[in-house]
Amino acid sequence: MRYKTTETKNTVQYTIIQDITKNGKRTTRVYENIGNYDKLKLRAGNEDPITWLNNYVKELNKKVKEDSLPIIIQKNPNKIIDKYVQIEFNVGYLFLQDLYYKLGLDNICKVISDRHQFKFDLNDILSKLIYSRILFPASKLKTMQLSKKFFEQPNFEYHHIERALPILCEENDYIQSQLYNNSKKYFPKNNRILYYDCTNFFFETEYEDDFRKYGKSKENRPNPIVQMGLFMDGDGIPLSCEITPGNTNEQITLKPLEKKIIKDFNLAEIVVCTDAGLASKANRKFNDKMGRKFITTQSIKKLKGFLKEEVLDLTKGWHLPGIDKTFNIEKLRTDEDLIEQYKDKIFYKERWIKEDGIEQRLIITYSVKYQEYQKHIRNNQIERAKKLIENNPKKIGKAKQNDPKRFIETINTTNNGEIASEVYYSINQSVIDEEAKYDGLYAVCTNLEDKVEDIVKVNHKRWEIEESFRIMKSEFKSRPAFHSKEEAIKAHFLISFLSLTIYRYLEKVLEEKYTVGEILDTLRDMNLKLDAKDSYSPNYVRTDLTDDLHEKFGFRTDYEATREKNLKKICKITKN
């Protein structure tokens, strides 16, 4: 840093000049215009102007060494900004990038690149596809454009993405197993409990093929689908996924994927927790040997008659954990005082049963809160059914499971048994009464001998895998999928799986203090604005969440001004 004088016809101008390196070459730039001698005297006050100027330059050079030099931004109100020059960049992705590199996905890409001997940057492609899927989900072409929002610009072209997808599909198993092994170095694993569930994703097409098949859509859409089976560990972290054709029976998807993760992840004594839809006899038998255990939701309505009768008897055999007596909970259905007293308690009864060669423990729980929840849901559906009768009876047709139409009965005969001239509809009270019998009741089957409260607690966490599917579908917009080739489809959902894994780790780092919406909206809005040639300022609101992000990850993007060289240092930090 030095000062420069420029003589004009009438005066002398004083300017502070700074030496900088740009594109590997040494050059200079104007740091500050002091002005003419009169302005210099005004700045110097009682001190000799030239002496003051020399001391001012020394102070600036000291601040350069301390990296605390103030950034002076000069704007010309008469100058139009340059065309096609980007002045805002997202830095929210840097927190995702830190986790991406901690999980060793860069090294995984290097091994794959060496194996296939291609020239394009697979690591840059995969990382940008993951960050974009989390922050700006879109099609491949749109993702290519949106990834230019990031401070670090993409180092690939669109056709490189097209070439990368088949390779990602081919290396799917390697990526998942290596990701698991890498994660153990940085994050503790809770692998005794594994959760498994299935969902499906639809496509914007009406034509099925060898992979996209018509099946039972979770969204009840008339489109071809594919199915995803997902394993999650006891902390809600995705472990492995598998994509199968949409017409595959979900019950047969568990064993192949479980066998693979047992082998690839070197797991042994595990407890697999599933919902009732995956509770086949074959799956229970598979997890009833070699130290494996299961906890699975059991439909009370599908129990054998004598078991169902025993379950529905609320007058005897009910316990509270830690209390050595039985309870009659029949009155909890109607007694407001008892409801208030026991609203936070979970009662249970249990017995061992042996069916089809499997000895398992049937645990029934009763909860006032669950009872009120089911009652609330049913009452809302009854109201919808009443409105349908009143406003649009022509739409009353065959009711599906859990459809409000199930509460509607059709009357098309007279009291004499003759065919009526008109069809009448009414609410079927007997259906309501039958469903109310099961209010508050929940059943699981298990071959574990653990405490009931521990088993209930484990089973309760199944909501996290259901939320994971919701995040992929809603937040990451993984459906509808627009790919048509099987290898591209599998690569698309691999990227969704990896995105979900990184996001779940981010939640853990933030100690699960914030909602999905809060986290993603904050990261998407964390933009820096280019104010000068190499100076950026935050163009987002600083909050408790942004403070937590900076504290947990050890770098800051919220200074009033940040030089480009320091931003590049942060990028390097996130890749260590």
Pairing of β 527-532 and β 88-90: antiparallel
Alpha-carbon 266 to chain mean position: 26
| Residue 417 pLDDT greater than 70, yes or no | no
d(CA 57, CA 148): 39
Cα–Cα separations (whole angstroms), residue 233 to 83, 160, 270, 519, 571: 50, 34, 10, 22, 31
Of all residues in the chain, the percent with pLDDT exceeding 90 is 56
CA angle 93, 94, 98 (to 5 degrees): 120
Give residue 133's pLDDT band: very low, low, confident or very high (50, 70, 90): very high
Q: Which of 200, 105, 169, 165 is nearest to 499 (CA)?
A: 105
d(CA 444, CA 455): 9
pLDDT band at 553 (very low <50, low <70, confident <90, very high): very high
Q: Which of 107-116, 210-219, 431-440 has the lowest mean pLDDT?
A: 210-219
Top-confidence residue, 177 or 30: 177
Res. 20 pLDDT band, cuts 50 70 90: confident
Q: Is the pLDDT of residue 193 over 90?
A: yes
pLDDT band at 209 (very low <50, low <70, confident <90, very high): confident
Per-residue exposure over 396-408, b if at least 16 CB sit within 10 Å of its own CB, e if not: eeeeeeeebbbbb
Model confidence at 74: pLDDT above 80? no
Confidence of residue 219 (pLDDT cuts 50, 70, 90): low
pLDDT at 230: 95
Residue-wise pLDDT for 88-100, tens only, equals 999 999 999 999 9
Of the ranges 1-5, 106-110, 390-394, which is most confident? 106-110
Rounded Cα distance between 137 and 149, Å, is: 13
Question: What confidence tier does 165 reach under pLDDT thresholds 50, 70, 90?
Answer: very high
Between CA 442 and CA 299 the distance in angstroms is 8
Q: What is the mean pLDDT of the chain?
A: 89
Q: Look at phi and psi of residue 320 and say left if phi exceeds 0, alpha if psi is from -120 to 50, else beta.
A: beta
Per-residue confidence at 504, pLDDT binned at 50, 70, 90? very high
Q: Distance between CA atoms of 161 and 125, rounded to whole angstroms? A: 7
The phi, psi pair for 530, rounded to 5°, reads -75, 110
With beta carbons less than 8 A apart as the criterion, state whether 541 and 526 touch. no
Q: Say how far apart CA 322 and CA 549 lie, in whole Å.
A: 41
pLDDT tens for each residue of 322-358? 888 898 888 888 888 888 888 889 999 999 998 878 8
- Tokens read off for 438: 């099961």
Q: pLDDT class for 455, splitting at 50, 70, 90?
A: very high
Mean pLDDT to the nearest integer, 164-181: 95
Dihedral sign from CA coordinates of 169, 173, 178, 183: positive
Within 10 angstroms of residue 70's Cβ, the number of other Cβ atoms is: 10
For the ranges 86-100, 137-151, 211-225, the lowest mean pLDDT is seen at: 211-225
In three-state secondary structure terms, 197 is: strand
Q: Could you give the CA distance from residue 133 to residue 496 in angstroms, rounded to a whole number? A: 7
Residue 43 in 3-state DSSP? helix
CA angle 191, 275, 238 (to 5 degrees): 35
pLDDT of 1: 83
The amino acid that residue 214 corresponds to is Y
Q: How far apart are CA 38 and CA 204, in angstroms?
A: 72
- Is the whole-model pTM more than 0.85? no
pLDDT exceeds cutoff 80 at 415: no
Give the ranges where 405-485 is alpha helix by DSSP (H).
429-436, 452-460, 463-470
- The percentage of the chain sitting over the pLDDT mark of 70, rounded to a whole number, equals 97
The answer to whether 339 touches 368, Cβ cutoff 8 Å, is: yes
> For 531-537, what is the mean pLDDT?
82
Confidence (pLDDT) at 449: 92
285 — pLDDT class (breaks 50, 70, 90)? very high
d(C-alpha 168, C-alpha 164), whole Å: 6
Written as one string, the DSSP assignment of 505-571 is HHHHHTTT-S-HHHHHHHHHH-EEEEEETTEEEE-S---HHHHHHHHHHT----SS-EEHHHHHHHH
State the residue for tokens 């780092």: 509
Is the pLDDT confidence value at 547 over 70?
yes
pLDDT for the residue 543: 97
* Range 193-199 average pLDDT: 94
Lookup: tokens for 50: 């030239």
pLDDT of residue 390: 86
**CA 295 from centre of chain:** 25
Cβ neighbours for 403, distance < 8 A, ≥ 6 positions apart: none
- Tell me: the pLDDT tens digits for 439-449? 999 999 999 99
Going 63 to 65 to 67 to 72, the CA torsion angle's sign is positive
How many residues belong to the chain? 576
The larger pLDDT score, comparing residue 221 to residue 99, is at 99
Confidence of residue 524 (pLDDT cuts 50, 70, 90): very high
